[in-house]
Amino acid sequence: MHHDLAQQTALVTGATAGIGRATALALAARGADILVHGRNEQRAADTLQRITALGANARFEPADLSDPAQVTALAEQVDILVNNAGIFHFARTADTTPDTFDAHIAINLRAPYLLVQALAPGMTERGYGAIVNVSSGAANTPGLGSGIYGATKAALESLTRLWAAEYGPAGVRVNAVAAGPTRTEGTAAYGDAFESAGQAVALQRLADPEEIAGAIAFMASADASYVNGATLSAMGGQPALG
């Protein structure tokens, strides 16, 4: 594997599971040092061990992203920030409680906002950096039960375009990757209903986390050096009407 990310440090939020863990491994395989963020120590130890096996450096940075003080305490000098951690608690509008609403806003939207606020200035001072926000098809396609989740992702895509304009002049690129239905710890609970989400995309299958991680690593790397403010669709393609 080409070590094009050697000498770079990446903070990956939610790197203790699913897409975040696969992203941490993809970036480590390309030579980056990884700050593994999450809460669960056992899962973190597993991610760290897998990164070490690749010959890369990694450290666990625990924080509960629903607490703004813990988010800003994560602020360190990094070259790559992947805002991956997110929650998806599906409910129709009538059944969405204020707590569910607030948790989505805090974890999916406020935490990435605070991290960009804290980390982008260091990147602009150094004249380079890459930020990748993990979005979802729910940002643009209404899903019954995914209202507030989709709204946080739509807002994150909007901020991606804003931050690209705000930090681009200093050489910092900000992009998003919109993931399609992906087999992760978080989606395991949805069982057969989730399998059918895979059948609804043109590739007619679910994604593996590594397939989303590949798109994120591309956006974080110099391979995407002229890509800024974009949302890359890693959603398996839209089927045509029959």
Ligand X SMILES: NC(=O)c1ccc[n+]([C@@H]2O[C@H](COP(=O)([O-])OP(=O)(O)OC[C@H]3O[C@@H](n4cnc5c(N)ncnc54)[C@H](OP(=O)(O)O)[C@@H]3O)[C@@H](O)[C@H]2O)c1
Active site residues: 149
Only segment of 16-24, 72-80, 89-97, 114-122 that touches ligand X (CB under 6 A): 16-24
Task: Tell which phi-psi region holds residue 113, choosing left (phi > 0), alpha (psi between -120 and 50) or beta.
Answer: alpha
Cα–Cα distance measured from residue 182 to residue 207, given in angstroms and rounded to the nearest whole number = 4
Q: Could you tell me whether strands 33-38 and 58-62 are parallel, antiparallel, or unpaired per DSSP bridges?
A: parallel
Restricting to residues 125-184, name those near ligand X by CB under 6 A: 134, 136, 179, 181-182, 184
Cα–Cα distance measured from residue 16 to residue 71, given in angstroms and rounded to the nearest whole number = 16
3-state helix, strand, coil in the chain (%, to 5): 50, 20, 35
Provide CB contacts within 8 A for 142, sequence distance 6+. Answer: 150
Closer residue to ligand X in complex, CB, 9/182: 182
Q: Should residue 16 be labelled a site residue for ligand X when binding is judged by CB under 6 A?
A: yes
- The answer to whether 182 touches 19, Cβ cutoff 8 Å, is yes
Cα–Cα distance measured from residue 6 to residue 240, given in angstroms and rounded to the nearest whole number = 42
Amino acid, single-letter form, for residue 127: G
Closer residue to ligand X in complex, CB, 8/84: 84
For the chain, the C-alpha Rg in angstroms (whole number) is: 17
Q: Which residue in the set 17, 25, 26, 139 belongs to the binding site for ligand X (CB under 6 A)?
A: 17
Closer residue to ligand X in complex, CB, 168/186: 186
Interface mask toward ligand X for 173-212; x: CB under 6 A: ------x-xx-xxxx-------------------------
Closer residue to ligand X in complex, CB, 193/241: 193
Amino acid, single-letter form, for residue 67: D
Interface mask toward ligand X for 53-92; x: CB under 6 A: -----------xxx-----------------xxxxx----
Query: From the CB of 10, what's the least distance to ligand X, in Å?
Result: 15
Binding region for ligand X (CB under 6 A): 14, 16-20, 38-40, 43, 64-66, 84-88, 107, 134, 136, 179, 181-182, 184-187
